[in-house]
Structures are given as C-alpha cells and as structure tokens.
Amino acid sequence: MKLFSSVNDVADINALAAEALKLKADPYAFQHLGKNKTLALVFLNPSLRTRMSTQKAALNLGMNVMVLNIDKEGWALELQDNVVMNGTTVEHIREAAGVMGQYADIIGLRSFPGLKNREEDYSEMIFNKFVKFCGKPVVSLESATRHPLQSLADLVTIEELKSRPRPKVVLTWAPHVKPLPQAVPNSFAEWMCKANVDFTIAHPAGYELSEEFTQGATITHNQQEALADADFVYVKNWSAYEPYGKMPAVTEDWLLKNDSLKDTNNAKVMHCLPVRRNLELSDEILDGPHSAVVHEAGNRVWAAQAVLKQMLEAM
Ligand code: CP
C-alpha cells in the first residue's frame, strides 16, 4: 500500500480489519519492519486520538516518529498555485511537502476542509497536492472529505463486538452548535457500504450526505424507526452538503438518550470523539453500559498499525 486516503485504497477491508485485531493480540511481532524507518505526522488542525494512536502504532512497529503541528510551528503555508506570495504566507506547499519527503519514509497528513467552497474541499486540493509533492507513501490523518483511519478502527470495533454475523449498524446525526465537516460520516458510510453489515443512515431533512458515499445504505429522516433492532449506533454531527457547510434548522430532538435505545438489540453506541456531552451525546449514554467510545478510540492504534505495516511491507 502506498496511499491510504479512502476505502478505495484497500484491497480487502475485512482482511485489513482482521490484521488489526491480530496486531492487537501481538503488538510487537513486527518491530523489525520499522527499523531505521521514519514516520512524519503533519497536522494542519488539532488532534488527540489520531496523533497519539498513530504515533503509538509506529513505535510498536519499531519506527521513529516526528510530529509537526505545521499550522502553529511551521511557516505559514501557501496552498494556491500561480500566486505572488507578497501576503502572509511564507512557504509554498510544493517545497514544504517536498522537503518533508526528504526526511520521512511515510508521511501522515491532517487537513480539514474550509467548509466555504465545496468544490475546493471535495477536490481534496491540499491533501492531493501534498501527496503529489512529497513523493512518499501518505496516510490520511483526516482530510477534507474522509477520515479512513477512524473508519477502519470503527470497522475493527464492530467486528470485535458484534453478536451476530451481519449486525445492523445505524449512523445517526446529532446536534451541534457549529458547522462540522462531513469527513467522518462520509468515510464511515463508504466503509459500512462495503462491510458485511445492514447499514442505515438517519438524519434530519437537509443533512443529506453526498451520494458518492452512501450507495447501498438505507436513508431515513426517522431516527426512532432507524434504531429498531440496531446492534451499533454511530452518533455524529455534520453540516449540510447542500447548502454547503450550513446548519439547516432542526425542530425535533435528535440527542440520543437511554430511552432512544429501547428498541435496539442492546446496541453499542459509538462516536469518533471528541464529543460534546449533552449536546451531541447524553451523559447517561456516555457513562453507561451502551457506550463503546473509549474502546473504539483504543482500536485506533491497531487500525493505524495495520495500515503502516502494509506500507512498510510494500517498501
Ligand atoms: N477521532 C479523532 O480523529 O480524534 P482526534 O481529532 O482527537 O484525532
């Protein structure tokens, strides 16, 4: 594997999830693979889980790791081509990515969308330029439209905790106070559409995701109906795809509580984190037996390790 940016970069998602669970059982079995190899993790946006879990995964494989919060610690980056750089930007992404490619064997990049210009965000302009100019294998640490390391960890969690061969998985929209990217739900949807699950998406009218990511899913505006017989409930806020980055008014109560789960198959509740308590998810769920959110975050290590292992093996 030379690029991990979406489910389309993975030959067999079930094999990759199984590999992650094998690494969970024996984390240090492949330390020789990463000897004298360097992973650079480059962040244009904040992170707790992605940063620490990917770092841990690389260390488990014997790699050296460098982390750069380029938005705070690097030179101000110019992302557009053919501009006179007489403003606030100091270094062009062409040189910055090229130089980082000289120092690292694998690079991870996080670049969130601006949520202003849909065409620019959905073209993955920043991520794709970085891939092009660094010249090294690249792992997405969450791009404008996808968060594949999260989605792989989510699949691993479902495989690990499922109580029947083809579980019902429901992605449900949750409230928020500000517009959030569609990257996590887009990515979760495209992975679930390829996984061996019965997959439903529930959201209020106006919050339709791009059809590019939801082919094969059942889509409804009725949360309670969607939750019936669910084994896993994945909670996430996202802003509208059309009108892009906006928050159409929602009058119904979409905040999940214990009572919302009464018709589920004793569902496990998942969330990528960070989560705003009692806005996106209630205390009673997060602190109760249904919550799988911390377990899910723990699986981020094994997902990242499975991806890095495949990249090291391909060198
Ligand atoms: N879920 C997730 O990616 O968490 P961070 O933003 O903290 O990395």
The residue whose CA is least distant from atom 4 of ligand 1 is 49
- DSSP characters over 235-301: EE----TTTTT------S---B-GGGGTTSSS-EEE--S---BTTTB-HHHHTSTTB-HHHHHHTHH
In the predicted model, residues of the chain with pLDDT beneath 50 are none
- Provide CB contacts within 8 A for 212, sequence distance 6+: 186, 190
User: Taking a C-beta distance cutoff of 8 angstroms, is the pair 106, 137 a contact?
Assistant: yes
Q: Is 142 annotated in some ligand binding site?
A: yes
| Ligand 1 contact, 239 CB (< 6 A) | no
The answer to whether residues 143 and 124 touch, using CB atoms and an 8 Å cutoff, is yes
Query: What span, in angstroms and rounded, lies between the C-alpha atoms of 314 and 68?
Result: 25
| Token duo for residue 285 | 């769920």
For the chain, what's the residue count?
315
What are the CA-CA distances from residue 257 to residues 170, 269, 285, 286 (Å)?
15, 10, 6, 9
Sheet of 3-4: strands edge to edge?
A: 3-4, 138-140, 106-110, 38-43, 64-69
**Architecture of the structural domain at 148-297:** 3-Layer(aba) Sandwich (3.40)
* 3-class secondary structure, 43: strand
Domain borders along the chain are: 3-146+300-313, 148-297
CB 299 within 8 A of CB 268: no
Q: Cβ(47) to ligand 1 under 6 A?
A: yes
Q: Is the CB of 273 under 6 A from ligand 1?
A: yes
Task: Evaluate whether 24 touches 163 at the Cβ level (below 8 Å).
Answer: no
pLDDT given at position 312: 98
How high is the pLDDT of residue 184?
Answer: 98
In order of 48, 59, 299, 305, 308, the CA distances from 20 in angstroms are 20, 15, 8, 7, 11
On whether ipTM exceeds 0.85, the answer is yes
Indicate if ligand 1 lies below 6 Å from the C-beta of 150.
yes
Distance CA 244, CA 11 (A): 32
The CATH class that applies to domain 3-146+300-313 reads alpha beta
75 in a labelled binding site: yes
Rounded Cα distance, 311 and 315, in Å: 7
Beta bridge partners of 41: 67, 108
Its pTM stands at: 0.98
Beta bridge mates, 280: none
Helix 13-25, helix 300-313: angle, nearest 10:
110
pLDDT confidence of residue 59: 98
Q: 50 alpha carbon to ligand 1 midpoint, in Å?
A: 5
For residue 109, the CA-to-ligand 1 centroid distance in Å is 13
Residue 275 to residue 236: CA distance in whole angstroms: 9
| Digit-coded pLDDT (tens) for 148-174 | 999 999 999 999 999 999 999 999 999
Residue 86: both structure tokens together: 């007489």
Q: Could you read off the pLDDT of 74-88 as tens digits, one per residue?
A: 999 999 999 999 999
Pocket test residue of 42, 43, 50, 147 for ligand 1, highest count of atoms within 8 A of CB? 50
